[in-house]
Amino acid sequence: MTGGSGGIGGAVARRLAADGTAVVIHYSGGAARAEAVVESVTAAGGTAVALPGDIAEPTEMSELFDAAERRFGGIDVVVNTAGIMRLAPLAEMELDAFDRMHRVNVRGTFVVSQLAARRLPPGGALINFSTSVTRLQQPGYGGYAATKGAVEAMTLILARELRGRDVTVNTVAPGPTATPLFVEGKSEEQIAGIAAAAPLERLGTPEDIAEAVAFLAGPGGRWINGQVLFSNGGIA
């Protein structure tokens, strides 16, 4: 899984490992965080390894897929949580910030999805990540939401292109989730206001999102294909 050293990625890794899945935790710049996730998985009796790579570079990601196949004999599930977010009104956003989001969120998803499409066996699953902001249309999120809209389009079309392969392709779109990245730079008042917006009147947790991924990755999700699953407590 890509982005496995992040708050949501780490929770997904631990949840899938709890189901008996051997997990490859990809990271780009967070080696220490990735190793911490590996330690938490193995401490709970699971199997995990951390491997580096630039998500937007086909050669590096192909080598990561090769390493996973050599170590575990194959790849059954690909979860693509890697992504970055830069916020600013569209009229004020620096083009470099938008380009970086596009490189990671769009090109990176394309690279990983292409490799998954070529390598996943029958019964396999690809799970990409979008965001509920594509529905919320919040000011300041235009550049970020644009990259995630591209992820949704790419994912849903790929599901149709893999007709006859018995491989499911879906996207999980989290709402506001209590991760360090979300909390950073926000006041307690801002966080409370965002939490109150959902009918369940709380923020999501990384574990909430991990449950959605585990469903799509497991036998219960085999009839879910070509969909965007909004895991957001009803906020949108």
Active site residues: 144
CB 140 within 8 A of CB 87: yes
d(C-alpha 82, C-alpha 105), whole Å: 7
What would the two tokens of residue 168 be?
């499911």
Name the CA radius of gyration of the chain, rounded: 17
Q: Pairing state of beta strands 23-27 and 48-52? A: parallel
d(C-alpha 20, C-alpha 195), whole Å: 33
d(C-alpha 99, C-alpha 230), whole Å: 26
CB 7 within 8 A of CB 180: yes
Residue for token pair 């997990």: 23
